[in-house]
A and B are shown apart, each in its own frame.
Chain A
Amino acid sequence: MIDIVPPAFIFILGAILLPVVRERRLRQVFQLLIPVIAFIDLLYMPEGTYWIYNFLGYDLILGRVDKLSMCFGYVFVIVAFLGMVYALHVREVGQHVAAFLYIGSTLGVTFAGDIFTLFVFWEIMAVSSVFLIWYQRDKPALDAGFRYIMVHIFGGCALLAGIIIHVSNTGSTHFGFIEYGGLASQLILLGFIINAAVPPFHAWLSDSYPEATVTGSIFLTAFTTKSAVYVLLRTFPGVELLVWLGAIMAVYGVVYAVLENDIRRLLAYHIISQVGYMVCGVGLGTEMSMNGTTAHAFCHILYKALLFMGVAAVIHVTGRRKLTELQGRNLYKKMPICLSLYMIGGFSISAVPLFNGFISKTMVVAAAGELHRPIIHLLLHLASIGTFLHTGLKLPYGTWFGRVPEGEKIEEGEIEAKEPPLNMLIAMGMAAFLCILIGVYPKILYSILPYPVHYHPYTLNHIVSMMQLLLLTAVAFWLYIDKLGGEPTISVDTDWFYRKPGVLILWLCTHPLQDLRFRLQGFVTKIVANVSSLSKNPILLPEIAIRYIHLRIINRLYHAFELYEDKLDELKELESRLVAVREMRYDENVYRRPIGFGVLVAVILLFLYGLIYFIKLR
Chain B
Amino acid sequence: MEKILKRLFIILAVLCIPVGFFIKHEHAIFFWHKIPSIEAIFGILGAFLLILATWILTSFAQKKEDFYD
Contacts and interface: CB of A to CB of B under 8 A. Distances in A.
Interface string A185-205: 000000000000000000000
Nearest to A459: B26
B23 A259 contact: no
Interface string B7-37: 0010011001101100111100110000001
A461 B48 contact: no
Secondary structure of the B side of the interface? Answer: helix
B63 interface: yes
B45 to A, nearest CB: 9
Contact of A471 (B16, B25, B53, B58): B16
B57 to A, nearest CB: 6
Given A468-B37, A469-B42, A472-B13, A259 B19 contact: no
Contacts of B25: 461
Interface residues of A toward B: which range? 35 or more
A363 interface: no
A474 B46 contact: no
Contacts of A372: 29-30
A493 interface: yes
Contacts of A467: 12, 16
B62 A489 contact: yes
Contacts of B64: 489-490
Contacts of A256: 57, 61
Contacts of A382: 46, 49-50
A499 B40 contact: no
Interface string A142-163: 0000000000000000000000
Contact of A468 (B39, B51, B61, B63): B39
A65 to B, nearest CB: 36
Contacts of A466: 39
Given A480-B51, A489-B63, A490-B63, A472 B44 contact: yes
A381 B51 contact: no
A491 B61 contact: yes
A255 B50 contact: yes
A28 interface: no
Contacts of A461: 23-26
Interface residues of B toward A: which range? 35 or more
Interface in A461-493: 461, 464-477, 480, 483-484, 487-493
Contact of A473 (B24, B46, B61): B46
A259 B55 CA distance: 9
Contacts of A471: 9, 12-13, 16, 40, 43
B20 A491 contact: no
A258 interface: yes
A369 interface: yes
A461 B37 CA distance: 10
Interface string A244-265: 0000000000111011000000
- Most chain B CB within 10 A, of A466, A471, A475, A490, is at A471
Contacts of A474: 9, 13
B63 A491 contact: yes
A370 interface: yes
A339 interface: no
A465 B47 contact: no
B62 to A, nearest CB: 5
Given A374-B30, A382-B50, A487 B62 contact: yes
Contacts of A490: 62-65, 67-68
Interface string A91-123: 000000000000000000000000000000000
A606 B10 CA distance: 110
A87 interface: no
B62 A499 contact: no
A85 interface: no
A484 B51 CA distance: 8
Given A385-B46, A459-B26, A469 B40 contact: yes
B11 to A, nearest CB: 10
A374 B32 CA distance: 10
B68 A499 contact: yes
Given A372-B29, A382-B50, A493 B61 contact: yes
B51 A259 contact: no
Contacts of A386: 46, 50
B50 A492 contact: no
A480 B39 CA distance: 20
A612 interface: no
A342 to B, nearest CB: 16
B49 to A, nearest CB: 7
Nearest to B55: A483
Given A254-B50, A469-B46, A471-B9, 14 more contacts: A258-B50, A389-B50, A459-B26, A467-B16, A469-B39, A471-B12, A472-B42, A472-B43, A472-B44, A474-B13, A476-B51, A489-B64, A490-B67, A492-B67
10 contacts: A254-B50, A385-B50, A468-B19, A472-B44, A474-B13, A484-B51, A487-B62, A489-B65, A490-B65, A491-B63
